[in-house]
Amino acid sequence: MKSNYSKTERRGLLFLFLPFGVGAMATATRFPEIRDNLHLNNGTFGTILSLGSIGSLIGFLFVGQAVHKYGVRPLIWVGSTGCFGLTALVPHLHSGWQFLFVTIGLGFSMTTFHISDNAQAIHRQEEIGEVILPRLHGMWSLGALITSLLAIAVTPFLTLAWHVDSIMLLMWLATCYGIKKSGPHFITKDETTGGEESYSIKSMILGLKTFLVISCAQILALQIEFSINDWSAIYTKDTVKMSAAVSVVSYAVFISAMILLRFNVHRLLEKYSERTLMRVVPRTGGIGFIIFLLAGSAISSSHRILGFFLSLLAFAFAGAGSSFMAPTFFGIAFRTSKLPSSVVVAQIGLINVVVTFIAKVIISWVAQATSVTIALMIPGVMLAGASLFAYLGNEK
């Protein structure tokens, strides 16, 4: 018998994903200023961002079984408080070493928040028999859009510290509300233990081969999102020569396109099979991103506004192309595995964080050695390549 999905629970889950999106992306919209405050070049700044993967790796090794052992509630508290608290420190840093340690802490905190949120959502999706994960990921994206639009509005008037610190406090309070409303439906220790079965670090590592193909596919689809998070504002400011406030628009367009597809993927699935969408959407998105980004970069030197418009088209293609791929791969992994949802999310993430670290470092130093435009071609090609794994999706 299917479980009920009340309006109260729906609202509670939304307030776990939306504030996370706002908080996680609040600094990304002002990366050019943060980079300048730290007196770092593109290569070093991007490398430090990539080293946040150390914290993520620790999180993916331990948090999956921690949720399995203790339930979702304590892990969401740890993840959300660490995420918002450490992000609030970023505007006050003026040393690359300080930024490195905070970034590693953020990697762990965000991973804890990510595993807890997604484990709960996947668990409930199976219980209620309704596809809710893409829409919840859409709420995360909506949060990222809100924070980017807010940055456009306040950058000319508020200092970086006032902007980020006030948002972090509000988003932590909003998450507290989400925890309160979702609490009665949280995965508990009893639900996750599965009798006396346990999931050690050794078993996690040995089990990675189960999700190797799915993880590789998800990495190809997700890398463009990570790269645009890190580089879109810097690209628009340094390459297209737009102001700091206007540079945020490129990320807003990317997230808007992502949200549009995430909120409507259930309608598309009524007309087309999962496999068809997984084949067509990322391929179109990746190729369109590459074509329009190259055109925008080439034209911006002589026609800045036209170049900016073409660049925005590129980011729109990228957002649409990568939109529903991550939640879809999570769903595929869970329905093909008998493991608890927290362990599934952690095992996939463990592979992703290692490969993503390597990819982000490569992209950072390609950006330093050549240009941000050339560096962004790498995730564009990866997104198009994700379509090769469409066979993992359902045909009907």
Type of residue at 320: A
- Alpha carbon 56 to its chain's center: 13
Question: pLDDT at position 206, please?
Answer: 54
Structural tokens at position 289: 């991103």
Distance of alpha carbon 307 from alpha carbon 235, whole angstroms = 12
Where do we find the tokens 């995360």?
140
Tokens of 78: 């740890």
Q: How far apart are CA 35 and CA 40, in angstroms?
A: 6
Identify the CATH assignment for 7-392 out of 1.10.10.60, 2.40.50.140, 1.20.1250.20, 3.40.50.300.
1.20.1250.20
User: What are the sequence ranges of the domains in the chain?
Assistant: 7-392
- What's the distance, CA 258 to chain centroid? 11
Residue 352 CA, chain-centre distance (Å), reads 12
CB atoms within 10 A of CB 352: 24
Q: Which amino acid is at 108?
A: F
Q: What is the pLDDT of residue 309?
A: 94
Report the SS3 class of residue 213: helix
- In this prediction, residues 238-246 reach a mean pLDDT of 81
Q: Does residue 41 surpass a pLDDT of 70?
A: yes
Q: What is the band of 31 on the pLDDT scale with cuts at 50, 70, 90?
A: confident
pLDDT tens readout for residues 101-135: 999 999 999 989 988 888 888 777 777 777 777 78
Burial class from Cβ neighbours inside 10 Å (0-12, 13-18, 19+) for residue 157 reads: exposed
Closest-CA residue to 254 (of 287, 275, 285)? 285
Of the given ranges (96-110, 200-214, 249-263, 266-280), which has the lowest mean pLDDT?
200-214
Percent of the chain surpassing pLDDT 70: 90
What's the burial of 81, exposed, middle or buried (CB within 10 Å: 0-12/13-18/19+)? middle
Structure tokens of 218?
Answer: 């998800």
Q: Say what the pTM is.
A: 0.70
pLDDT value at position 316? 95
- More confident site: 212 or 54: 54
